[in-house]
Structures are given as C-alpha cells and as structure tokens.
Amino acid sequence: MNLRLNVHTSGPLLAGKSAQTIQSNLDKAITAATLLLYAKVTSYTPQGVFGAQGGLLGSIQQDVRGKGTPVVHGIVQSAHEYAEVIEKGRRPGKGMPPKGSLVRWLMDPRKLGLDQKTASKIEFVVRRSIGRKGFEGAHMFEKAWKENQSQIQNIFERHGLKITEELNNG
C-alpha cells in the first residue's frame, strides 16, 4: 500500500486571500447574470412612439450595487411611469388611461399614423376601450427571468468552479 500526502505551504487559503477570491468571483457572476437579464428584458420590451431612443425601452437600466461587499445586488429596472402597466397589463374595468396619454401613440406611423387633430378626437374612444377591455401585458421582466434561470444558474456554477480552482491552485 502506497500513501501519498501533499502539503501546500502557499496559496490563497494560507495567504488569507480566500475572501477576496470568493468576492471577486461573486461580483463577476452577479454582473454577468445582470447583463444577461438586461439584454433579454430589452429584447422583449415593446417599442412605442419613441422607439429605442426614449419611452419604455430607453428607460430600462441595469446596475450592480454593492460590489466588494458580501451583499451584491444585480438590478434590471425601469423607472418609467407606465412600465408596470406594460409588464403586467391592465385588467378590464380598471379605468381609463389618463387623458392625453395616447395621442402620440395614435400618431405613431407603426400604430395608426393619425394626424394630431384626429388622434386627439379619437383618443377618448381608445382610452374607454382600454378601460373596458384591458390588455395583456408584455411580461418582459417575467419572461427574461423565467426563460433564463438555467443560464443564470450556469453562470453561478461556473464562477463557483473558478473559486474552487483558484483556492486549490493558488
């Protein structure tokens, strides 16, 4: 019987760098997952009157907060006033959208392409219809999360393996 024992006298664990190795890979994993979700959310977001330049699509942002700390947050969000309505939709009977909120949408050539005067005249009818019937949400945040959970898990597993390799190999 042959026994072998290897004793390492150096490396991240013995040098006190294990926390730094773990934190670095955690920061990288959160950043990669956040960027993936941001790309997916923006691909699912409907383009309105302003296209990618403004409106809802232009308002979607990503951020990673708390890098270098034990509590790192990846955030994909929109501060746009109607982001939640577009995400979740609107139930029938919930009420009409605010007056004047659909004029630009009605004028958009990709929608109805009306002139200002006509759009202003029929806006009430469209608002009333939305109030009565509601509409289905785009679910862009929900879809991005549900359809990419396995990819996000893979990102964290890869970085977990990197942590193990770095701690073992120095």
Residue 49 has pLDDT above 80, yes or no: no
Alpha carbons 70 and 38: distance in angstroms, whole number: 23
- What region, left, alpha or beta, does residue 48 occupy, with left being phi > 0 and alpha being psi -120 to 50 degrees? beta
Q: For residue 85, what pLDDT is reported?
A: 85
Q: Which two tokens stand for residue 15?
A: 């040098």
Average pLDDT, the chain: 85
Helix axes 149-169 and 140-147, enclosed angle (nearest 10): 50
Residue 6 has pLDDT above 80, yes or no: no
The mean pLDDT of 109-127, rounded to a whole number, is: 87
Q: For residue 46, what pLDDT is reported?
A: 87
According to DSSP H, which parts of the chain are helical? 12-15, 18-44, 55-59, 83-88, 103-107, 116-133, 140-147, 149-169
Q: Transcribe 46-77 into DSSP letters.
A: PP-TTTTTSHHHHHEEEEEE-TTSS--EEEEE
Instruction: Convert the pLDDT of each residue in 92-115 to its tens digit.
Output: 888 788 888 788 878 887 778 889
Q: For residue 57, what pLDDT is reported?
A: 87
Q: For residue 12, what pLDDT is reported?
A: 57
Residue 22 has pLDDT above 60, yes or no: yes
